[in-house]
Amino acid sequence: MSIARVEPLTTARALRGPFDYEIPERLGDVGVGTVLEVPFGRRRVTGVVVELADASEVPPEKLARPIRVLGGGTTEELVRLGLWIAAEYCSTPARGLGLVLPPGTGTGGERTRFRVEKVSAITDAGREALEGGGRLGAKQRLALQQLLEGDLTGRQLAARAGVDSGTLRRLEERGLIARRQVNVRRRPEGSGVGSAAASAPELTGAQAEAVRDLIAKLDDPSAGQGVLLAGVTGSGKTEVYLAVVEEVLRRGRTAIVLVPEIGLTPQAVGRFQARLGDRVAVLHSALSAGQRFDEWQRLKSGEATVCVGPRSAVFAPLSELGLIVIDEEHDSSYKQEGDPRYDARDVARRRALDAGSLLVLGTATPRPESWRALERIELPERVDGQGMPPVEIVDTRDSDPRQGPIHRKTWAALAEVRERGEKAIVMINRRGFAPWLTCQTCGHHWGCPNCDVSLIVHRESDQLICHHCNHAEPLPRSCGDCGGTTLSQSGAGTQRIERLLADELAPMPVFRLDADTSGGPGGHARILSAFDREESAVLVGTQMVAKGHDFPEVTLAAILDADATLRFPDFRAEERTFSLVTQLAGRSGRSRAGGRVIVQTLAPGAPSIASAATHDSPGFLAGELERRRELGYPPFSHLIRIQLAAEEEPDVDRAAGLVADRLEAALPAGAALLGPAPMFRARNRFRRRMLVRSATRELSIAAVHDTIEALLAGRELGGITLSVDVDPQ
Ligand code: ADP
Ligand code: ZN
């Protein structure tokens, strides 16, 4: 008997799958990864085959049979990966498997399908009729003539020759054309252009050496552990990736290139498509459901052999995977925020080790984890041999508040840029106009009614907006408490800086890049290319301006609040600040005109800022690793964060106490439970968080998992939202 072990794609957490089904002959090919519709209790659900067997412990008369096969499913390798994620990140098999199935599977609503079209081809009889002057209507003749050039779909024929479906049907009936069904791929816009025409520049010595070293690892079974490509900004890492990808393809294998979400601009994708052509498939969130489905199928069928995309592209259904590249490996978008809270960098490692692929992690600012654990290949210089731009730290602790958020030294540098007709980038890590609105008369301060945070003044819409829950209210003209009309807007965000720059530097154009201006598909790229097109301009924005672009005309990069990220109560604050300042600095001086960097800060002595100013990654990383070793933070321990939320404060307190008690009892020796500690209220919910810190990763994950499943199964956490985050960022 053939038995399929099936994991149902339901959201229930306490379900104990997989469940056995008997496979009848008529279902045809059923393997690991096949998606089935199965009877489940009284319902019919979608499920995935995770194992095949010859026998079941369920008595034969109780074994149900699947109803039908749904689509092509996924591969056995990806099923393994999905189940690994479920276990590793305390999620459910259904959620883990959801990541590795064709887009649209099991979503309940409309299921994405292939688009099928009829393609017409001219037959020998058709050629004869055309040449021998057979009896043909004008439309019929036109259609046959078009088909001499090649096979066409009905839609193409309609566009070219105005041929309707009636004409085609009559031609087919007379045997003058043959029609067949094909799957038509819906391709993302702009793809397939410039098919593989661009040629590689001659590699620099350092690039060539890096490529040689990486290629030598293609047959090394431990290469899945990962190799760090530590290359300064502008050192030409992408060319190195491209050369290794080309070699992998020559060997008949396939490759995945992961890029940060924000880096997925048409330019970045274009660089890969220009070199590798149609073999590149792109997976990202701006695609329509149909496009995503079809790009996925192109990868699965082998039509495409390279996948470029953000973190979810790590699940590309490629077989014979030879290489996974993670560009800008320090980027926080590699961590998924919702359940399953996977880290694509660790998933990539798992997959590479399983498939025998090489894993390459590239960045100018490696994570301490990578720096410590990985073999390193370095690109210490920019491709053009230019030095790194000098960085000037401006201490703003003693500056006059009336001076405003932009220091006079920064103003002077901006004025110079304008005089010379060059470009500048200015970063401030907050969107909106001003972060605080207070009444000058009574001191009333406007906060969010749902969250314990300040409301941010937005001038364009004249609103106060909460950056946590998006609550918005009209900007008040007077104080509701005392009636006072002198309201002060203090602090600065991107909107205020944009206005200051536009007033002061006119007629130089100022562009703003933040979450408010870059919404919608292509919004981010649109602003960057507008900035690119100007002769001389300023780009102001949040962290977004520090990422994923390369403008040679930029000669000044200024950061107005370099220590903003340092104030987060988080052990990664130093690491984030270092990477942000270094990445922003790296945008400047990418041409012969040279460049400079200004870093305004209240914390000039912080190691992250001091090291970034000297472009000293090794120095920073050595100090940071030492600090983490002393404090017992990752990579010297593993963290699991448990977060609870409820509408009533006593409820969340009780639940947190319960979880903490059970966990204390379940955790292995050497694991410590920190908390529960309160977090600020958000979206009208009171929150608590606790942290498990341990040296025994698997045991601790299992303890957390089992504890929570038991509490859920016992219905002891009613009305509580609970999330578990392994390796929180
Ligand atoms: P990184 O990702 O290391 O910051 P990029 O790969 O974006 O650097 O390269 C920076 C710039 O240098 C790009 O414009 C790229 O086209 C160019 N470049 C890279 N390698 C070479 C080379 N060998 N010769 C000439 N230009 C190169
Ligand atoms: Zn809010």
Q: Is the predicted pLDDT of residue 268 greater than 80, yes or no? A: no
Closest ligand to residue 472's CA: 2
Specify the pLDDT at position 195.
45
Predicted confidence band of residue 118 (pLDDT cuts 50, 70, 90): confident
Of 181-185, 441-445, 462-466, the one with minimum mean pLDDT is 181-185
* pLDDT tier, 114 (very low <50, low <70, confident <90, very high otherwise): low
CA proximity to 370, closest of 227, 240, 575: 227
Q: How far is the CA of 470 from the centre of ligand 2 (A)?
A: 6
Span 367-393, mean pLDDT? 92
SS (H, E, C) 411-479: HHHHHHHHHHCCEEEEECCCCCCECEEEECCCCCECECCCCCCECEEECCCCEEECCCCCCEEECCCCC
**Does pLDDT of 108 surpass 50?**
no
- CB 231 less than 6 A from any atom of ligand 1: yes
Report percent pLDDT > 70 for the chain.
95
Residue 107 has pLDDT above 70, yes or no: no
The pLDDT confidence band at residue 263, using thresholds 50, 70 and 90, is low
In the structure, what pLDDT confidence band is assigned to residue 110 with cuts at 50, 70 and 90? very low
The lowest-confidence range among 34-48, 174-188, 508-522 is: 174-188
Q: Which amino acid is at 485?
A: T
Contact call for residues 334 and 345 (beta carbons, < 8 A):
yes
pLDDT tens digits, 533-578: 999 999 999 999 988 677 888 999 999 999 888 888 788 999 999 9
Q: Mean pLDDT throughout 89-106?
A: 89
pTM over 0.85: yes
- At 216 the pLDDT is 96
Question: If DSSP codes are grouped into helix, strand and coil, which group holds residue 305?
Answer: coil
Ligand 1: residue whose CA is nearest its atom 5: 236
Asked whether residue 15 carries a pLDDT value surpassing 80, the answer given is no
pLDDT above 50 for 128: yes
pLDDT tens-digit map of 567-615: 887 889 999 999 999 999 988 888 777 899 999 999 999 999 999 999 9
Q: What is the dihedral of CA 586, 590, 596, 601, to 10 degrees?
A: -20
Reference 613, options 587, 581, 589; nearest CA is 581
- Quote the pLDDT of residue 418: 96
Contacts of 132 (CB under 8 A, 6+ apart): none
pLDDT at 202 over 90: yes
Separation between Cα atoms, residue 510 and residue 416, nearest integer Å: 15
Among 326, 330, 383, say which to mutate for ligand 1: greatest number of ligand atoms within 8 Å of CB: 383
> Cβ(271) to ligand 1 under 6 A?
no
Instruction: Check whether 309 has a pLDDT greater than 60.
Output: yes
Query: Ligand 1 in contact with 239 (CB < 6 A)?
Result: yes
List residues bridging with 686 in a β-sheet: 646
Sequence-distant (6+) residues with CB within 8 A of 604 are 393, 395, 610
Segments in 57-184 forming alpha helices (H): 76-88, 93-98, 124-131, 138-148, 154-161, 165-173
User: By the 8 A CB rule, do 599 and 562 touch?
Assistant: yes
For ligand 1, whether the C-beta of 378 sits within 6 Å is: no
Among 203, 228, 550, 592, which residue has the most ligand 1 atoms within 8 Å of its CB, making it the best to mutate?
550
480 in contact with ligand 1, CB cutoff 6 A: no
